[in-house]
Amino acid sequence: MNRIAGWILPISITLFGILAWRNSRANPELEALARETACGPRSGCVLERTTPLRIERGPFQHRYDFRTSLGTAVVECRRAQVLVGTWHCGVEREKVGAPAEAPGRYPADVERSVGR
């Protein structure tokens, strides 16, 4: 019994580390999904730049700041489960004419997902 328990912890830590590393890497498909989500179906919204103003990547979420004709859209993408599953993106915050660091949160009115 102790032999099995002695292997479970190292294997679990290794697996967690591999999944966290994989989620932290650049993902062109996810960036494209975030770009698409930045404006979504809102009329009059157009991306002013196709590249994000700022990118934050971590094991649990990715954030992209896009400059749109309506202001700066902060798009947050997370997996369906903690480290695995489909990526889902939504507009976390949008400030008209303000930089991405401006305070204020608005509910995500657009959510899209990409399978991984």
Of 23, 53, 20, nearest to 35 by C-alpha is 53
Structural tokens at position 56:
């934050």
SS3 16: helix
Q: What single-letter DSSP state applies at residue 83? A: S
Residue 95 banded pLDDT, cuts 50, 70, 90: low
Q: What is the pLDDT of residues 35-68, one digit of tens each?
A: 999 988 877 888 998 899 999 999 999 999 999 9
pTM score over 0.75 = no
Domain ranges of the chain: 2-114
Q: How far is CA 49 from CA 21, 35, 45, 53, 69, in A?
A: 28, 10, 12, 8, 10
pLDDT at 4 > cutoff 70: yes
Is the distance from CB of 33 to CB of 114 less than 8 angstroms? yes
Tell me the C-alpha distance between 31 and 36, whole Å: 9
